[in-house]
Amino acid sequence: MPGINQQKRIMYERYSLALGKVCYKMGLRPNFITIVSMISALVSGIFFWKADFFWGVVFIIVTSITDMLDGSTARAGNIGTVFGGFFDHVSDRYGEFFILAGITLSGAVHPGWGLFALFGMLIASYTRAAAESIGKLENCAVGIMGRLEKFLVIIGGSIIEIYRPTGTFPNGGWLELALIIVGATSVITAIQRLFYTKKMLGDKKEV
């Protein structure tokens, strides 16, 4: 699993670098793009809260694209900073909260599943952050599903919920199913990261 994720990350960074170069030449800076990503996540959450799934999805896409561009712009211009990385991680957690809280408050899903998905995404992210900060691992981006893939599941569930062809899909429940998948895969990812961290650290003593 770590090898597969590492290969995916290398390909992801390679293809996003070209877009990062464009942003850098336009004068855009990583922290500004990070702020745009967080604001678009907030807007997405508000649209979901109002049960306007179309625009909720649009702004999830904007959030995902800008979340990719802040890191690629930093690499393209060689202007990445430690604070920038920290700010990016924190804003991502805010973004996840905004979107999932909006979906939960929309009334389209059972609140319990909304909280389950929110807990899962946050605990998966925290497990990685703890492994890299406390465990000093270079990278703990392992697991069954990453943040982008989870957003794609939510987007898919939202689209089917609204635009399902008549008689093709049962009525309702698709966005809720998406949240169940996101929550379950997030919990599995957190467990995988725990085992991976244990494997990498072994019985290493605290300094």
Looking at residue 17, its amino acid is L
R_g of the chain computed on alpha carbons = 18
204 C-beta neighbours (distance < 10 Å), count:
9
17 exposure class (CB count in 10 Å sphere: 0-12, 13-18, 19+): middle
Of the candidates 24, 5, 20, the one whose C-alpha atom is nearest the C-alpha of residue 139 is: 5
Query: Does 170 have pLDDT greater than 60?
Result: no
The rounded distance, in Å, linking the Cα atoms of 122 and 187 is 9
* Sign of the alpha-carbon torsion through 102, 104, 109, 113: positive
Query: Does 75 have pLDDT greater than 70?
Result: yes
Q: What does the pLDDT look like over 95-124, one tens digit per residue? A: 999 999 999 999 889 999 999 999 999 999
Can you give the pTM of this predicted structure?
A: 0.86
Domains of the chain: 2-199 (1.20.120.1760)
